[in-house]
Amino acid sequence: MTQFKNPHTKYPVPPFPKQEQEVPGTEAAMQPQADHGEESYVGSGKLTGAKAIITGGDSGIGRAVAIAYAREGADVVISYGYDVEDEDAAETARLVEKEGRKAILSKGDLREESYANQLIELGVRELGGIDILVNNAAYQMAHKTLEELTAEEWDRTFETNIRSMFYLCKAAVPHMQPGSSIINTASVNSYHPNAVLLDYAATKGAIQNFTANLAQMLLEQDKGIRVNAVAPGPVWTPLIPSTMPEPENFGKDSPIKRPAQPAEIAPAYVFLACEDSSYIAGATIAVTGGKVAM
């Protein structure tokens, strides 16, 4: 019999221990530890033989998606950006390989078109093609005033969150066959922008628009490639203690009164990648903990 759980108390509820990390943060230093589905996610062969590229795949949502894809039968390229993330990336690869699937690690700066092209080429070469592209890598930093936000940081946020997605989609589409999927990570900030995340929230709104537009473009060209997005609410990942004020209270104002764990977000990425969602394109699935997204 299925054991249903109260969503309010299924996972740790704030306040959490006081903590602070340097950007981009690591999984090991988080209190409490995040759940990526290591023990809970059960696959059912929905992606058997699929080939996926996941950016920002070392930790957080990206790690949870990599685990879920592997348990559904997919091989995965895991892209990440910083030396400090080496240990997290290696752990994600270990978890994928534990399921008997191939895990390829790639470290580089997605703001550079040359690296984005190399990443797609790596996937084609090592996996034999690309069936799923998950554009999940992102940069954010909280600022309370406009004066605090420099032009350099504004550019960095847009280059990381928007420009890289364009580069990757452009490079990947020629290698993707009908039935393939592109899944972009938007945010609850697409609907309810956080005042301290001006540049980040703007990029997430742009991602949602880009998703809907690219979906129409590819469908009108009869390519058979579906493009969709997932809009998570507050999620307990290393970005939170490394970029947000008062991480100990993060997610407290959610209707569920806690942040999501990455394991709660990953199933949406599985759904959008598999045949269950074959008639869904240009859509955004909101996984926001009850925050109305419209």
Question: How far apart are alpha carbons 130 and 76 in whole angstroms?
Answer: 10
3-state secondary structure of 38: coil
Task: Report which DSSP code applies to 147.
Answer: G
Query: For residue 28, what is the DSSP state?
Result: T
Has 200 been annotated as catalytic?
yes
Q: Show the beta-strand stretches assigned E in the chain.
A: 51-55, 75-80, 103-107, 132-135, 181-185, 226-232, 284-287
Q: What SS3 class is residue 95?
A: helix
CA–CA distance, 37 with 290 (Å, rounded to integer): 21
Q: Which of 69, 80, 167, 200 is catalytic?
A: 200
Nearest to 265 by CA among 91, 65, 50: 65
Place of tokens 């592209």: 133
Rounded Cα gap, residues 78 and 119, in angstroms: 9
The helix (H) or strand (E) run that includes residue 184 is strand 181-185
Residue positions annotated with a catalytic role: 200
